[in-house]
Structure 1
């Protein structure tokens, strides 16, 4: 920690992309608690939860700024792509590359209005780091999951793959790299707008930052001990989302059936049908099932079984204290929180970072993964295996202990203080 008399000004940036918000606001809250002056810059719909951290809020103006989290206002529609690469191309076009200049202009304007000692950026809205480069503003990148993009010098992570797995993934990786190359051309137009030279790889924009902090457990990530000078693990940043409704069990107190929490994305990923298949698969088990829908799916779009309750939201941490199993899409926030509670998981990934998270859960023995097209019978068989084999819970407990330790021992505030004020490092 810095001398308590030293107060620094931080500008924490994020965007309404589901799991991208929570880690940024957790870090903002920690910085406020440490006595610093913190602003959060994000979509307008994030104002209430941002201000609850004690930070001041600034909305995006030129860059996209969602007024709500409803399905119709979704900016990212990668689920509509015919292939993962096509879906990713939409994200590049409408966010990372195509709107980079707008994010940069917003950051530059805000820094002119009120300077900051350090800007905390994101690995997906590269316009923040671009704006910092233009303004010669010190910045750091906070990644809220594993390194997903081909950044030069990024540390090796993830479970080892067999030759067969590598061969199977090669065509998709080739298509992804072609998508990144096309997006880099668009991103370089934004750089040219500010009279900056082009990059061979747009993801290397993050290297203008002093450091990239990885908000994920090194143990969970299968992360290398040596991450180089630019990357550092700071553990998961997991405050409970403060927009969720309070939790009170809808079942009688004497109902001792195991509780299964079903929680998929807070953003829309065309996951209504898979949610219904999960509900149908769980219908025959002697369990209680709580399904948290999030803001993009209405209860009327699903048919609950007799053992199922549908709620718009609930604090997952409170629910997980009572749960036996989690069924999830595999977003890092849900996965990490389940591990903090030492719960095994069935992960049904829908893209983004979720496939990698699912592979890590399975490789650690803490759960199983299925494709999003899995039929009801396949889902039921996986659930039967997870509930019946205690090895999954045991492995989740071992991994969860390591994840909890890394979260508790996180030095993210000290790291940011040192980067904001190197002479006090």
Structure 2
């Protein structure tokens, strides 16, 4: 008999397709799935086979339109400014609003399991208040402090020796302090729903029954140790519905193919895209440059060997690609690695510097700065194409990811939580 799942997502760009991939898989197994989501996502939710439900008091955004983006992190001048916008506009600031909307839906139509993106602490608060099993989704590398690895954010290499471990302890302390400003709003949401306050925001992050990390364990550092509720369930490799399903048009010729993709949401990426296109114009390659929904492809100047298009199913393109040039968004990165394609990473912000560092650690790619010149970008691309070690390590990662995704562990974990609901005694 099918179970009932309520998902809670927000217009978070690349975080949306992995969550909706799980929604689609649950629907295919006969479960009832509803999704609380921004109105801008309702078409994608319906395409995944689920019922979309609008937030009523929580923030509503559209990352394809800079004017409607809730966070507007592209306006921040520093990484700390980017973080503060996420904390104050999604994670903690509107926690009471997310909790109110989620709890109202759970009371109107109970669910066996609540599944929420890990940053929606308000939605997770509602699940705890309603007494239903809760799963949080991490759609990138596990970002919370854990022994055996440097803190998430600065892009540090793994520590070696006592000085490296001291660096990690000090940096972890510095990285956790800014969260304190969000604690009053979060605890106000908790106490309003009958829950005790927490001593830190990290206690709330760790409160879910299951934390499902939709990232390859092989991409994280091998010595890292995780809390007991964390499960690495492998990446979701489906393309988003808006990317289309037809066979993509590829540039003519038989030169090595480069896939270029910087972000599905707006990050002021038009000029970086043009610098990449200019760099590829100096190399004996052909390239497919996808701008995504946030950039008009007609505004990108590109040489003749670079075909510019708004969208294309990356999974299909990667079957033919020799290299991916990307902002190191988690989705594009893991799809490339799953296809055995090495990367040139050009992080633009958010979690991308951290993802790029992990790619370098695997040996499957290189990183260049976001303001790098076309010449520097061209050198990096040539290096990855000419050195067979990058292809070898990318193929090794593809083998690891194939093993991790051989079964759908995310669905298995969620069905297990739902079964726990049905066997629990009636209160």
TM over 0.5: yes
Residue 154 of structure 2 corresponds to none
**In the superposition, relative to structure 1, how do residues 415 and 168 fare at CA in structure 2: closer, same or farther (>3 Å)?**
closer
Residue 52 of structure 1 corresponds to 47
Deviation at 1:386, TM superposition (A): 0.7
Residue 405 of structure 1 corresponds to 403
Deviation at 1:266, TM superposition (A): 0.6
**In the superposition, relative to structure 1, how do residues 68 and 384 fare at CA in structure 2: closer, same or farther (>3 Å)?**
closer
**In the superposition, relative to structure 1, how do residues 351 and 168 fare at CA in structure 2: closer, same or farther (>3 Å)?**
farther
> Which range moved further: 358-367 or 290-299?
290-299
Cα distance in 1, alignment partners of residues 63 and 368 from structure 2: 31
Q: 2:105 aligns with which of 110, 121, 125?
A: 110
Cα distance in 2, alignment partners of residues 168 and 227 from structure 1: 20
Cα distance in 2, alignment partners of residues 165 and 298 from structure 1: 45
State the Cα deviation string for residues 296-343 of structure 1 (Å, max 9, x = none): 112243211121121111110111111110001111111110011100
Deviation at 1:120, TM superposition (A): 0.5
TM-score, structure 2 as length reference: 0.91
Indicate conservation of the 8 Å contact 2:251/2:307, yes or no: no
Indicate conservation of the 8 Å contact 1:40/1:55, yes or no: yes
Q: 1:81 aligns with which of 76, 79, 83?
A: 76
What is the DSSP-based 3-state SS (H/G/I as helix, E as strand, rest coil) of the residue aligned with 1:45?
A: helix
Indicate conservation of the 8 Å contact 2:64/2:266, yes or no: no
Cα distance in 2, alignment partners of residues 30 and 344 from structure 1: 29
Identify unmatched segments of 5+ residues in structure 1: 1-5
Q: 2:5 aligns with which of 4, 7, 10?
A: 10
Aligned residues: 415
TM-score, structure 1 as length reference: 0.91
Q: For residues 179-328 of structure 1, what are the structure 2 equivalents within 5 Å?
A: 179-223=178-222, 227-245=226-244, 246-252=246-252, 255-328=253-326
Residue 176 of structure 2 corresponds to 177
Q: 1:382 aligns with which of 380, 383, 397?
A: 380
What is the DSSP-based 3-state SS (H/G/I as helix, E as strand, rest coil) of the residue aligned with 1:141?
A: strand
Indicate conservation of the 8 Å contact 2:147/2:224, yes or no: no
Deviation at 1:360, TM superposition (A): 0.9
Residue 70 of structure 1 corresponds to 65
RMSD of Structure 2 on Structure 1 (CA): 2.3
What is the DSSP-based 3-state SS (H/G/I as helix, E as strand, rest coil) of the residue aligned with 2:135?
A: strand
Indicate conservation of the 8 Å contact 2:338/2:402, yes or no: yes
> Which range moved further: 156-165 or 305-314?
156-165
Deviation at 1:372, TM superposition (A): 1.1
Identify unmatched segments of 5+ residues in structure 2: 151-156
> Which range moved further: 141-150 or 386-395?
141-150
Cα distance in 2, alignment partners of residues 344 and 122 from structure 1: 29
> Which range moved further: 275-284 or 242-251?
242-251
